């Protein structure tokens, strides 16, 4: 119910604005093996925790800047560093 109403986003935004430490995690089983290979289909990894770096709303887009402290790869999906979603106007507004 918090997600549908937008209250969860408001809480995250408020906590970020007030300087709280934020984190999140994904359900499922961690799939790392001894060689640090992973099954990555462009999504967040199952069974991982992520640090929330920033909570931003830009031009009606709700954006989380997150970091996987154990990750050995870079996100290349939507809203990654070089994705087309980052228009010049959005870059200026961030």
9-53 pLDDT, tens per residue?
Answer: 999 999 999 999 999 998 988 765 545 555 555 677 788 889 999
Phi, psi dihedral angles at 52 (to 5 degrees): -95, 115
pTM of the full structure: 0.75
What is the pLDDT, as a whole number, of residue 42? 60
What is the pLDDT, as a whole number, of residue 39? 54
Choose among 30, 43, 94: nearest CA to 73: 43
In terms of pLDDT, which residue wins out, 67 or 15?
Answer: 15
pLDDT tops 90 at residue 76: no
What is the pLDDT, as a whole number, of residue 74? 77
> Mean pLDDT throughout 73-88?
86
Give all domains of the chain, ordered by start, each with its CATH number: 2-93 (3.90.70.10)
Cα–Cα distance between 18 and 80 in angstroms, integer? 26
For every residue of 27-71, DSSP letters joined together read -S-----TT-----SSSPPTT-EEEEEEEEEETTEEEEEEE-TT-
Q: Find residue 54's DSSP bridge partners.
A: 65
């Amino acid at each position: 119910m918090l997600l549908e109403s937008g209250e969860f986003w408001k809480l995250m935004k408020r906590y970020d604005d007030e300087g709280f430490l934020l984190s999140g995690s994904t359900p499922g089983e961690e799939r790392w093996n001894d060689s640090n290979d992973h099954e990555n289909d462009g999504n967040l990894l199952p069974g991982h925790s992520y640090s929330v770096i920033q909570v931003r709303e830009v031009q009606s887009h709700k954006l989380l800047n997150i970091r996987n402290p154990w990750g050995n790869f870079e996100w290349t999906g939507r809203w990654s560093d070089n994705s087309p979603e980052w228009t010049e106007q959005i870059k200026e507004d961030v």
